[in-house]
Chains A and B, each alone.
Chain A
């Protein structure tokens, strides 16, 4: 009956702070919900607002790592990065299930618990989207040798994929710009990478980057397009399979689909 709904900021820190407060205020997990960001109001529920506090969020993170291990923390933090209204509640209930001792063995393997399963699904979803970006992201060389990639993932995965490219291309200057989520990662050659949240003007420049492709870029793009065509076996043509493995929504930013379908 007496449900309590904790509303918090729609960020990982906000949700973790709410988890901390739920315990600090000694609320029962069965009758408590965490709601990140805006949502429909409920009747017959107490609302309490939680102010984000990074220090408290850190404490929850430390507890999760201490009690459930790094792997569980990775899954939880991936789930927190997902764009899903139910993630706050799922993370809270999963942590509560773990702390209550209901789940034997590693937390993330207790898939019989609904909240753990939800966290697992969200984490898997994020991992998949990040993996897809690592596969399908395409850099284009600008005048001056800077590599520029525009991506349009359905989740905000820029921060998750950039370490892969930073490790792979330590001596390149590159920018990965997610135009949908308005976030970009910048990697100066030989230095650590960082994130920027571009303002309107920068975002517009990202959109018009195609005017600044280098001459070599055009040649390489054409070579790769031809390669993609000639490496397919005509007798085995199978568009359906191609589309299953490489869905259409990724093709907008991919070099080989720039002008024509690859045949």
Chain B
């Protein structure tokens, strides 16, 4: 192994190989940092982040997402860049990364750099390479845009600490929700080496925030917080397990985001499930919906799922599902209900709830007002009253009735073929069976005790 393979390769080829290799990492957010330009160099950061383009899969292109090198000494079963795969290998030099980043940035293509890497030699050496690159970018090129750095699990804590003062966000990938899954699919990675840097970053952020007198221009440690990601559907964990892990990461490690990545089978390894229906996108979608409920809506994981019901309903979103199981709490009166209760109404989001709470100070709200304010009543109207009245008096607050109505107004999913709404009529094949194929595969696998290939 070594860098010599990359010699003689053009920048174009390198970029293609190394962005292709990095694409399975989900985190492409540029949010969390607010920084104005200092008038000396180039760049600024916006709190909400900016997406500059969208790829053909509908995912945003916000950062220049690349690996420093796709050479790797590890052999993780799910990864395209594992040691045993025969794929073209390439490595950037720090200058090349800096040039690409600054040239892309000044044309407003990107919001910053996302730098990850395969493990070259050993984790600490690789982390050192990443640090060198980012140091050059920040100090020599005076780049003040957004930088997201991956922590290589197992790298020396000092290397991680130094890098943290240059990056906006850092992330360590949890990869798989349970330790068993990790040891089966990623034999070189250990839970311990993943959680240790996560804790290190958390403590660093805490210290940087609680600095008694932050002097002007003091470097801040990972100001945009840290994130992580889990692969969904490669191992037989239930949604409940995954969501519980996410919840504890938010609570105990103070993470900004947990990303879920629907498993894409790139290696056809015997340890991995076959996914004939494509990546489990619906499951990923449900997890993101639930993740939002945890972070912004005051839900807890055990309210949404339980040991008895470990997976999400494929037909209803988690919030509607929860509301239907707790119909005794509804309907709520829009003009009086506290903000927290409004948030729990299916169809009312954070923005709508805020608008309602503010607008009702200066007048009684009716359904007409709600509509005009942009509150979507399609689902919400089953669960709210205005001035003591439902929108349609014929609505009965009972589970079967509302479930039927909610299923009638089809949920808009962010995937679902390219606008094709017709399908072959079949007496035996249920539409929903296809959607839950991932879950079916998982259950079969669990049932057979791992025989499944």
B248 at the interface (CB under 8 A from A): no
B180 at the interface (CB under 8 A from A): no
B453 at the interface (CB under 8 A from A): no
Q: Is the CB of B41 within 8 A of A171?
A: yes
Q: Is the CB of A235 within 8 A of B58?
A: no
Q: Is the CB of B42 within 8 A of A227?
A: no
Please tell me which one of the listed residues A138, A229, A233, A240 contacts residue B419 in the complex, with CB atoms under 8 A apart.
A240
Q: Is the CB of A230 within 8 A of B19?
A: yes
| A242–B56 alpha-carbon span in the complex (Å) | 6
Residue on B with the closest CB to A105? Answer: B361
| A235–B52 alpha-carbon span in the complex (Å) | 22
B380 at the interface (CB under 8 A from A): no
Q: Is the CB of A112 within 8 A of B15?
A: no
A223 at the interface (CB under 8 A from B): yes
B residues near A261, Cβ cutoff 8 Å: 56
**A224-B55 in contact given A167-B37, A255-B109 (Cβ < 8 Å):** no
Q: Is the CB of B36 within 8 A of A238?
A: no
B393 at the interface (CB under 8 A from A): no
B359 at the interface (CB under 8 A from A): yes
Q: Is the CB of B355 within 8 A of A111?
A: yes
Q: Is the CB of B264 within 8 A of A230?
A: no
| A169–B36 alpha-carbon span in the complex (Å) | 11
Residue on B with the closest CB to A97? Answer: B362
B residues near A111, Cβ cutoff 8 Å: 355, 358-359, 369, 372-373
Q: Within residues 115 to 147 of chain A, which ones have a CB less than 8 A from any CB in chain B?
A: 117, 134-141, 147
| A224–B103 alpha-carbon span in the complex (Å) | 10
A172 at the interface (CB under 8 A from B): yes
Q: Is the CB of A232 within 8 A of B57?
A: yes
**A246-B37 in contact given A112-B363, A147-B107, A240-B418 (Cβ < 8 Å):** no
B12 at the interface (CB under 8 A from A): yes
A residues near B415, Cβ cutoff 8 Å: 236, 238, 241
Q: Is the CB of B362 within 8 A of A224?
A: no
**A236-B279 in contact given A105-B362, A262-B56 (Cβ < 8 Å):** yes
Residue on B with the closest CB to A262? Answer: B56
Question: Size range of the interface on B?
Answer: 35 or more
Residue on B with the closest CB to A227? Answer: B19
| A169–B39 alpha-carbon span in the complex (Å) | 8
| A261–B418 alpha-carbon span in the complex (Å) | 15
Residue on A with the closest CB to B28? Answer: A231
B302 at the interface (CB under 8 A from A): no
Q: Is the CB of A235 within 8 A of B279?
A: yes
Residue on B with the closest CB to A165? Answer: B108
B residues near A141, Cβ cutoff 8 Å: 107
A66 at the interface (CB under 8 A from B): no
| A140–B373 alpha-carbon span in the complex (Å) | 40
B residues near A136, Cβ cutoff 8 Å: 52-53
Q: Within residues 14 to 31 of chain B, which ones have a CB less than 8 A from any CB in chain A?
A: 15-16, 19-20, 22-24
Using an 8 Å CB-CB cutoff, how does the interface string of B54-72 with A read, 1 for contact, 0 for none?
1111111100110000000
A interface residue numbers (CB < 8 A to B): 102-106, 109-114, 117, 134-141, 147, 149, 164-165, 167-172, 190, 216, 220, 222-224, 226-242, 244-246, 254-256, 261-263
**Known interface pairs A111-B369, A168-B37; 12 further A-B residue pairs with C-beta atoms within 8 A, sorted by A's residue number:** A139-B107, A147-B107, A170-B40, A171-B41, A224-B107, A230-B23, A231-B61, A232-B59, A238-B414, A241-B58, A245-B54, A263-B56
